[in-house]
Amino acid sequence: MLDVLLLGGALVLLLSDRRLTVPSGTVLLSLVAATAAARVAMADLPNVQPVSVMVLLAGATMGARRGVAFAVLVTILSNTVLGDGLWTLLQAVGWSLMAVAGSKLDLLEHGVLRLGRATSLACVLALPFGALTTLSVLGPNVGLDALPALLWSGLPFDAAHALGNVVVMLWAGPSIVRWMTFREIADPMAITGLEADASLV
Amino acid sequence: MNRLAVLLLVLALLPSASAAVNVQVPGGYVSTAPLVLDDMVVVRSSATFDGRSPPAVVAYIGGVESWRVVGPPTVQPDMADLVHAPAGAAACGAWPDTLLVAWSSGRLDALRLDGTSLWSVDTEVDGWGLTATPVLTPSFLVQVTRHGIEHRCLADGSLLARAEIGVGWRNPATVLNGTSYVGDETGRLWTWHGGEEQATSIPITGRLRHAPVPVAGGLLLHTQEDAGSAVAWHPLTSNGTPSNASPAHRLLGGAAPGMPLGLGQDTAIIADSTGLLHMTWTPEGWRTEEVDSRPVNGPLRSEEGLLLASENGPTGGFVVLDLDGWRTHEVAGPRGYGTAPPVVCGSGLLLVKDDGRMVVVDDHRSTCPLASLTPQVDRSPAVWSLSLLVAYLVGAVAWKRRGALHGAKWASPFLLVALVLVLPQIGVWWANLGPAADPDDVWDPSWPASWEGGQVVAFELPSGQVAIGGLSEAETVLDATMAAAAATGLTLTVEQHSLGPWVTAVEGVEGQGWVVEVDGLLLGVGAAQGALEPEAVVVWRLA
């Protein structure tokens, strides 16, 4: 039920985006699939989360609305393999907030990634993300009084998340931005005359 | 240069390189052949006689332990083969790919191939419970219990029909045209057509500890006698009822008979302490040929044109013979007492002895799912030390030549490798620095005072708390948990993750996962890494 609501929310966000075209939507969904696959593939590395860098850059390149949709879709898709539960909601919220942060904090300058700023942000945001997702452990049998110890013992794993983000951002960040910076190119077959020839060239 | 860095990173993250495939199955004796599925090897072990280790079923996938199910404790060995029931459907319902586990505690478990419980039922216990291997039919499974024979639905384990028979031990049924045949310890051969009908029986000599073998329109039995063993052949009448043994087909055999194997319409192999005898039925009697003189007291198996068995003796190896010509293949591997026959695994043979040493031999193409499982050489200290050194060197050079960002870029992958490798240790150390709970909040007043001062393990199940104390001192949370499960009769499902074994279900209950508290604080590391003080309270709760 929760997944349906999240999925519905993501679709509403996408469909209400007037700038979204079929080609850009296709690119976005392809990146969702690739990111989810990367997350599943790296699941055995403790808390190394390639999704964090992807959603941060999705927010920076596509804007908050599409970034949030991207984050939600990746979370749901990857958790169908890795395991679904209350944590799906918290992860979706956490990564959505990262996407929003990416859209607001000027990570691009003239279309080029500001690598130092983006890396710092990816590193720092791992900590609140870890704190947020830790809340999924709380429940009828685990009260708020357990939270300090949980947050404390999770810190080394948050450090792994942060360092993983640094590696992914520094090594793949600029390339990811190029993939995500989708530019609409006119279909030359739909244009008549000399302009079409010019477009084909 | 970039490619070189990525290659170094990948190599550092890879598990240790393989040498020889040699695994120690946890727990007590291994008396049954491992089960080889497409990408999985599953093996079972009995409880240890001192009760420290419960019976278990362990699955290895992709070369590493994937999950472990701990069975109810018992002092009797678990001798029923694991059975794989492919996904299917019948009138009573549908079932997924299923693993059937019959425990000597009397429990019959159906597990999904990820180790989670599909269903579980208990059968009668009289000294011990189930020792007979379940038998599959297209519509149901046939399980011989301590003194009964049952038809059960594979979808949910519900009882479809049952008949009483004599008390038995390691006596699976043979099902022919819907009729079940089974022997017992009281010298009877039982016939049951199913449904409401009672089972009927005829006398046989001795105790039958194998499934009757169909040969030449009759049933071959190799019974345990007071002295030695005897082979008998009971022709089946037109309505499927066995007649009295044919005098012309009675043979005396050696001590401790194994489980005979039918090889064709008229031929079979029997085994005992004097070796293996190939027998061909003729109307006048058996035509026999001794094909091996090594003692074999367990099941026989034929695969890939080979006859396979375990030589049972202090230095016993394995019997591997060509079915065509009985040429003997020498097989290197573990030696000692054992009854589990070798199993073809990939391009090699999977061998296991009573003591749980499991070895893959001759798997030149490394296609056995156990092939990449190696004695894990813990080289992580060397790797993380080297990673830190390389991180410093390449980071410093890159920083000096091209600035701080490049320094971070080149150093960070190697720092990540180091962190991933030391994370389990760091996690334990860090968690121990954390806040402590009030001891008064930890102790449950309903627990007996005799548990104080020792280790107590409690499971908060939906049906209520199950707790146990006064156990031997365990070093880790996982050890204490396993011992507690064994002592209380709870079934645990333990899966293997990158951070170590992970308890995913207790008594088949998975919920949204299980969390464990030690002295009132949630454990921040895996149960195997969580060190326990001699006085500690471990509580497992559903998340």
ipTM of the complex: 0.86
Task: List, for residues B428-461, the tens digit of each pLDDT value.
Answer: 778 777 776 666 677 888 888 888 888 899 998 8
Contact of B524 with chain A, judged by CB distance below 8 Å, is answered with yes
My answer on whether B456 and B385 are in the same domain is no
Residue B18 has pLDDT above 50, yes or no: no
The verdict on residue B177 lying in a domain is no
pLDDT-derived band at B401 (thresholds 50, 70, 90) equals very high
My answer on whether B455 and B493 are in the same domain is yes
Task: List, for residues B153-177, the tens digit of each pLDDT value.
Answer: 999 999 999 999 999 989 999 999 9
Residue in A141, A150, A166 nearest the CB of B412 = A166
Q: What is the mean pLDDT of residues A24-48?
A: 88
Give me the sign of the Cα torsion angle B254, B257, B261, B267.
positive
Contact of B461 with chain A, judged by CB distance below 8 Å, is answered with no
> Which residue segments constitute the domains of chain A, with CATH numbers given?
2-184 (1.10.1760)
Judged by CB atoms closer than 8 Å, whether chains meet at B521 and A116 is answered as no
Rounded to whole angstroms, the Cα distance separating B361 from B130 reads: 32
Residue B38 has pLDDT above 90, yes or no: no
My answer on whether B450 and B529 are in the same domain is yes
Residue B438's pLDDT is 63
Q: What is the mean pLDDT of residues A60-86?
A: 89
In A, which residues are within 8 Å of B408 by CB distance?
A: 119, 166, 170
In B, which residues are within 8 Å of A172 by CB distance?
A: none
Q: Which of B119, B193, B110 is nearest to B149 (CA)?
A: B193
Q: CA-nearest residue of chain B to A169?
A: B409
My answer on whether B424 and B478 are in the same domain is no
My answer on whether B407 and B452 are in the same domain is no
User: Following DSSP, what letter does each residue of B327-379 receive, concatenated?
Assistant: PBPP--S--SS--PPPEEETTEEEEE-TT-EEEEES-TT--STTTT-------
Residue B469's pLDDT is 85
Q: What is the mean pLDDT of residues B297-310?
A: 94
A2-16, A112-126, B8-22, B339-353: least confident range: B8-22
Q: For a pLDDT cut of 70, what percent of chain B falls above it?
A: 89
Judged by CB atoms closer than 8 Å, whether chains meet at B515 and A137 is answered as yes
* Residue that terminates a domain, selected from B412, B432, B452: B432
pLDDT-derived band at B186 (thresholds 50, 70, 90) equals very high
Rounded to whole angstroms, the Cα distance separating B207 from B192 reads: 19
Judged by CB atoms closer than 8 Å, whether chains meet at B412 and A48 is answered as no
Q: For a pLDDT cut of 70, what percent of chain A falls above it?
A: 89
Q: CA-nearest residue of chain B to A137?
A: B543
Residue B222's pLDDT is 95
The verdict on residue B280 lying in a domain is no
Residue B301 has pLDDT above 90, yes or no: yes
The verdict on residue B480 lying in a domain is yes
Judged by CB atoms closer than 8 Å, whether chains meet at A164 and B426 is answered as no
My answer on whether B480 and B425 are in the same domain is no
How far is B161 from chain A, CA to nearest CA, in Å? 38
Residue A50 has pLDDT above 60, yes or no: yes
My answer on whether B489 and B523 are in the same domain is yes
Q: CA-nearest residue of chain B to A148?
A: B435
Contact of A151 with chain B, judged by CB distance below 8 Å, is answered with no
Highest mean pLDDT among A23-32, B165-174, B369-378: B165-174
My answer on whether B389 and B467 are in the same domain is no
Name residues 280-339 of chain B within 8 A of A (Cβ): none
Q: What is the mean pLDDT of residues A94-106?
A: 94
* Residue that terminates a domain, selected from B397, B413, B432: B432
* Residue that terminates a domain, selected from B385, B401, B432: B432
Q: What is the mean pLDDT of residues B265-292?
A: 94
Contact of A146 with chain B, judged by CB distance below 8 Å, is answered with yes
In B, which residues are within 8 Å of A160 by CB distance?
A: 416, 419-420, 423
The verdict on residue B536 lying in a domain is yes
What is the residue range of B531's domain?
439-542
Judged by CB atoms closer than 8 Å, whether chains meet at A44 and B541 is answered as no
Q: What is the mean pLDDT of residues A15-25?
A: 81
My answer on whether B416 and B477 are in the same domain is no
My answer on whether B446 and B531 are in the same domain is yes
The verdict on residue B290 lying in a domain is no
Residue B11's pLDDT is 43
Residue B367's pLDDT is 76
Give SS3 for B496.
strand
Residue B133 has pLDDT above 70, yes or no: yes
User: What pTM does this model have?
Assistant: 0.57
User: Taking a C-beta distance cutoff of 8 angstroms, is the pair B276, B291 a contact?
Assistant: yes
The verdict on residue B310 lying in a domain is no
User: B191 has which bridge partners?
Assistant: B181, B200
A181-185, B142-146, B192-196, B328-332: least confident range: A181-185
My answer on whether B420 and B494 are in the same domain is no
How far is A192 from chain B, CA to nearest CA, in Å? 45
My answer on whether B416 and B444 are in the same domain is no
Tell me the three-class secondary structure of B162-181, residue by residue: EEECCCCCCCCCEEECCEEE
Contact of A153 with chain B, judged by CB distance below 8 Å, is answered with yes
Residue A72 has pLDDT above 80, yes or no: yes
Give the CATH number, domain containing residue B485: 2.170.130.30
Residue in A46, A85, A119 nearest the CB of B512 = A85
Task: List, for residues B484-524, the tens digit of each pLDDT value.
Answer: 877 776 777 777 665 567 788 887 787 767 888 888 777 76
Residue A59's pLDDT is 93
Rg of chain B (C-alpha set): 27
Residue type, A24: S
Q: What is the mean pLDDT of residues B414-433?
A: 83
How far is B280 from chain A, CA to nearest CA, in Å? 54
Q: CA-nearest residue of chain A to B6?
A: A171
How far is A195 from chain B, CA to nearest CA, in Å? 42
Q: CA-nearest residue of chain B to A139?
A: B543
Contact of A86 with chain B, judged by CB distance below 8 Å, is answered with yes
Calculate the average pLDDT of chain B. 85
User: Count of domains in chain B?
Assistant: 2
Residue in B409, B423, B524 nearest the CB of A46 = B423
User: B41 has which bridge partners?
Assistant: B36, B60
The verdict on residue B51 lying in a domain is no
Judged by CB atoms closer than 8 Å, whether chains meet at A157 and B423 is answered as yes
Strand ranges of the sheet holding B318-322, from the earlier edge strand across to the other edge: B301-303, B306-310, B318-322
